Amino acid sequence: MPELPEVETIRQDVLPFVRGREIKKVGIIDPRNIKGITPSLFVKKVVGEKIVDLERRAKYLLFKLASGKYLVIHLGMTGRLLFAPDDYVKVIFHLSGKRALYFSDARLFGKIRFYSHYPELKLGPEPLQEDFTVPQFRQMLKQRKIAIKQLLLDQKFISGVGNIYANEALFRAGIHPRRPANSLNDREVKKLYKAIKQILFEAIKYRGTSDSWYVDAKGKKGGFQFRLKVYGRKDEPCFGCKSKVQRIVLGQRGTYFCPKCQK
């Protein structure tokens, strides 16, 4: 599933491919990913626009247009942005210079929207941004008693972290996923803060996790799936202590942890 590192990898690859190019034509194979306006109005609005930049906010890709408007894509679970089509293409963006960008989405959880201004996305802080600090994180955790794992998945609390990296960060910090957020002491808050940043930076470095669906714009898998310590490893031995990795359901999400290493 594309989380912050996967979306950032795509952003970096796609930016030089689209920058300065005009959207000449849009082919809609399946209109169901287009949200907020009718597909025909969407096409009318984006055709003729020039892409000047590609930004990322949490798991969203924001195509900045020369008019100051934005084409915003969220990849959901199985969304892809590709330089060549695959079996699940839903929307094709034909660009100047005879290029095309393919939006593919097998399960239709992805969303494509058009905004006349910079979109208000109602998201919590970006964990990799420098203005996200330990004191701020401590303050945020203090007032919440929900399980820490569930809180990390709340995009209004902290944005960009999804199920894979929430599990991995908690393992790295040695914190049990069921712990109430406000029960973490100062040492644990600091450890978790560091773990989140480290995991995300490393996953970007390895071009994301290709657990099931994720591939980059060239259709290539990432490399971080080989470095996962707990996610998807139910009943397999913990790399640290050899105990069996456990799987529980927390807030409707599969949750993996080592019962011995995570307290």
Partner DNA sequence: ACCTAAACCTGGGCGC
Partner DNA sequence: TGCGCCCAGGTTTAGG
Pair 118, 70: CB distance under 8 Å: yes
Q: Are strands 79-82 and 99-105 parallel, antiparallel or unpaired?
A: antiparallel
Which one, of 20, 88, 28, 86, lies nearest residue 54 by Cα?
20
In angstroms, the CA 122 to CA 45 distance is 24
Active site residue 253: yes
Residue of 45, 59, 80, 229 marked catalytic? 59
Pair 256, 172: CB distance under 8 Å: no
Which residues lie across from 53 on neighbouring strands? 64
CA 230 from centre of chain = 19
Which one, of 198, 124, 136, 146, lies nearest residue 168 by Cα?
198
**Kind plus residue range of the DSSP H or E element containing 230:** none
Residue of 138, 144, 244, 253 marked catalytic? 253
- In whole angstroms, how close is the CB of 89 to DNA at the nearest point? 12
User: Which of 65, 151 has the CB closer to DNA?
Assistant: 151
User: Which of 28, 108 has the CB closer to DNA?
Assistant: 108
Active site residue 59: yes
Residue 233: Cβ within 10 Å count? 20
Determine whether 124 is exposed, middle or buried from the number of CB atoms within 10 Å of its CB (0-12, 13-18, 19+): middle
Determine whether 197 is exposed, middle or buried from the number of CB atoms within 10 Å of its CB (0-12, 13-18, 19+): middle
- In whole angstroms, how close is the CB of 1 to DNA at the nearest point? 4
- In whole angstroms, how close is the CB of 254 to DNA at the nearest point? 3
Give 139's contacts (C-beta < 8 A, 6+ positions apart): none
Using DSSP, state whether 139 is helix, strand or coil. helix
User: Which of 109, 115 has the CB closer to DNA?
Assistant: 109
User: Which of 93, 231 has the CB closer to DNA?
Assistant: 231
Where along the sequence are the contacts to DNA (CB under 7 A)? 1, 3, 32, 58-59, 74, 76-78, 88, 106-109, 122, 143-146, 150, 153, 155, 162-164, 251-254
User: Which of 31, 259 has the CB closer to DNA?
Assistant: 31
- In whole angstroms, how close is the CB of 162 to DNA at the nearest point? 4
Active site residue 2: yes
User: Which of 101, 151 has the CB closer to DNA?
Assistant: 151
Would you give the end-to-end CA distance of the chain in angstroms?
Answer: 27
- Just list the catalytic residues: 2-3, 59, 253
